[in-house]
């Protein structure tokens, strides 16, 4: 029996094979139990929803609170209180209260503008629905008068009206109980969401008032678990994420507010209906990059179209002009730091995260993609630097290969313009016809000929 010599590579292979098998088993187990895992995650997220609301509210209000604290209340409280610690706590408390009151005031003002406008719009549409229908029918009759499609259109309208009556009688009335239960469930869900939001506001107050303590605890846990080098890298990435999200969200809110105000002033000057409601729709949908203005323009145009088609056309033209001004002038000036993403990646971010998380994903998709893009870019730059290769993308434009010995980038060989390249088929035929024949092949052919 031969002596067996132990090598560590066998251990590595065995551990790798074992990990692959375990990972495969876990993966298939997750696929089989995904519905249960998703329901469990849903319960956990539902239980933590007040905390999540509080974190989001605190993050959105943090920069505004910092402005109030640094510019106003620190100086004021330093004069009112002798002890520095008491002055600091008082300045933080006043800043939190004023910030929350400002946010609640803005929300209450928007609701005071939106709700009456919505009630008036629905009331006008319902009261004038018969007139709208008569005008549409009259226009259709005039358009199809003395036409071969008149009978088809009339029959089509009669069929629709019969189907509508049948649907109201058979489906709506028979399922009134189910509809009432759905409405009750929706009302209860709205009430529970409002309760979670209220608890989230209370949690945000604790987070804003003690933000330095919570940050210090998180840093202590991070450096306790990880090595200093890895922890420093995570801290750097978190600072970048905070700057990217904070600057983008604040800049987008300011940009949407300016767009909404300009839209409102234009509609007031032109005497267009539903000025406040339409302007708020335009401002809110402008939070969504690229597609937001078009999403908001559709319902806004339909509302104006019901009152005056000419004004609806003017509004569409103004919306196009306003969005060009916003995209070329306002947004580049408001966003001090550009996202650095091309149009393709912005569209990819909106479609991908919008498909996963809806409207919220469309709003946060661009800054999130910016963060991931920059993390990947810096990771690739670190790997290239370690291998002695250049980081600039332009250096790889004409790359043909890399010298393994020196790591030098070698360009693609340029063809001689004087020499005409032969077609591949002709080159292959020439190679087969004129290749040197070996003596062994000649002897084989002679033996086959004798046989």
pLDDT digits (tens, 9 = 90+) for 281-316: 888 888 877 777 778 888 888 888 877 888 888 998
Among 49-63, 141-155, 256-270, which is the least confidently predicted range? Answer: 141-155
Q: Assess if residue 113 is contained within a domain.
A: no
Model confidence band, residue 49 (pLDDT cutoffs 50, 70, 90) = confident
Q: Assess if residue 377 is contained within a domain.
A: yes
Distances (CA, A) of 98 to 18, 61, 64, 257: 59, 11, 10, 21
Domain boundary among 285, 300, 331: 331
Q: Assess if residue 419 is contained within a domain.
A: no
Whether this model's pTM surpasses 0.85: no
Question: 257 pLDDT exceeds 80?
Answer: yes
Burial pattern 219-243, b for ≥16 Cβ within 10 A else e, equals: eeeeeeeeeeeebeeeeeeeeebee
Q: Assess if residue 22 is contained within a domain.
A: no
Helix (H, G, I), strand (E, B), or coil: what is residue 101?
Answer: helix
Neighbours of 415 (CB within 10 A): 9
Question: 62 pLDDT exceeds 80?
Answer: yes
Model confidence band, residue 99 (pLDDT cutoffs 50, 70, 90) = very high
Highest-scoring range by mean pLDDT, 132-136, 198-202, 326-330, 332-336: 198-202
How many residues are listed for the chain in this entry? Answer: 451
| CB under 8 A, 24+ apart: contacts of 192-196 | 196/49, 196/50, 196/53
User: Which residue bears the tokens 């332009």?
Assistant: 394
Q: Assess if residue 355 is contained within a domain.
A: yes
| Torsion sign, CA atoms 220, 225, 231, 234 | negative
Q: Tell me the average pLDDT across 388-396.
A: 78
Domain boundary among 310, 331, 352: 331
If one counts the domains in the chain, the total is 2
Question: 43 pLDDT exceeds 70?
Answer: yes
pLDDT digits (tens, 9 = 90+) for 153-171: 666 766 776 676 666 666 6
Q: Which domain holds residue 267?
A: 236-331
411 versus 64: the higher-pLDDT residue is 64
Q: Assess if residue 301 is contained within a domain.
A: yes
């Amino acid at each position: 029996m031969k002596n067996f010599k132990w090598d560590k590579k066998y251990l590595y292979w065995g551990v790798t094979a074992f990990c692959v098998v375990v990972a495969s088993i876990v993966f298939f187990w997750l696929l089989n139990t995904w519905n249960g895992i998703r329901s469990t995650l849903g319960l956990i997220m539902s239980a933590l929803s007040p905390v999540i609301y509080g974190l989001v509210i605190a993050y959105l209000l943090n920069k505004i609170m910092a402005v109030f604290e640094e510019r106003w209340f620190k100086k004021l409280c330093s004069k009112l209180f002798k002890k520095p610690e008491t002055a600091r706590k008082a300045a933080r408390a006043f800043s939190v209260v004023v910030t929350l009151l400002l946010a609640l005031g803005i929300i209450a003002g928007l609701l005071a503008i939106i709700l009456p406008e919505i009630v008036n719009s629905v009331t006008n549409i319902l009261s004038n629905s018969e007139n709208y229908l008569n005008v549409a029918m009259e226009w259709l009759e005039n358009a199809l008068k003395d036409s071969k499609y008149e009978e088809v259109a009339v029959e089509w309208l009669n069929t629709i009206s019969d189907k509508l009556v049948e649907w109201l009688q058979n489906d709506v009335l028979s399922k009134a109980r189910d509809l009432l239960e759905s409405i009750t469930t929706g009302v209860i869900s709205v009430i529970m969401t409002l309760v979670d939001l209220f608890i989230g506001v209370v949690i945000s107050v604790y987070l804003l008032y003690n933000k330095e303590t919570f940050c210090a605890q998180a840093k202590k846990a991070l450096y306790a678990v990880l090595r200093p080098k890895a922890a420093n890298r995570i801290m750097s990435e978190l600072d970048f994420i905070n700057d990217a999200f904070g600057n983008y969200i604040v800049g987008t809110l300011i940009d949407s507010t300016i767009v909404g105000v300009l839209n409102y002033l234009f509609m007031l000057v032109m005497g267009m209906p539903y000025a406040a409601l339409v302007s708020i729709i335009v401002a809110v949908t402008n939070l969504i990059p690229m597609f937001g203005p078009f999403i908001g323009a559709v319902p806004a145009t339909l509302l104006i179209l019901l009152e005056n088609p000419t004004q609806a056309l003017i509004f569409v033209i103004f919306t196009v002009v306003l969005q060009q001004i916003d995209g070329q002038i306002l947004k580049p000036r408001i966003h001090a730091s550009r996202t650095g993403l091309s149009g393709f990646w912005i569209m990819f971010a909106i479609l991908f995260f919008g498909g996963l998380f809806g409207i919220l994903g469309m709003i946060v998709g661009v800054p999130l993609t910016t963060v991931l893009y920059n993390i990947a870019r810096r990771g690739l730059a670190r790997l290239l630097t370690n291998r002695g290769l250049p980081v600039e993308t332009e250096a790889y434009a004409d790359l043909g290969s890399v010298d393994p010995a020196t790591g030098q980038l070698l360009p693609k060989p340029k063809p001689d313009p004087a020499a005409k390249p032969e077609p591949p088929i002709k080159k292959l035929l020439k190679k087969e016809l004129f290749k040197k024949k070996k003596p062994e092949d000649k002897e084989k052919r002679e033996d086959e000929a004798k046989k």
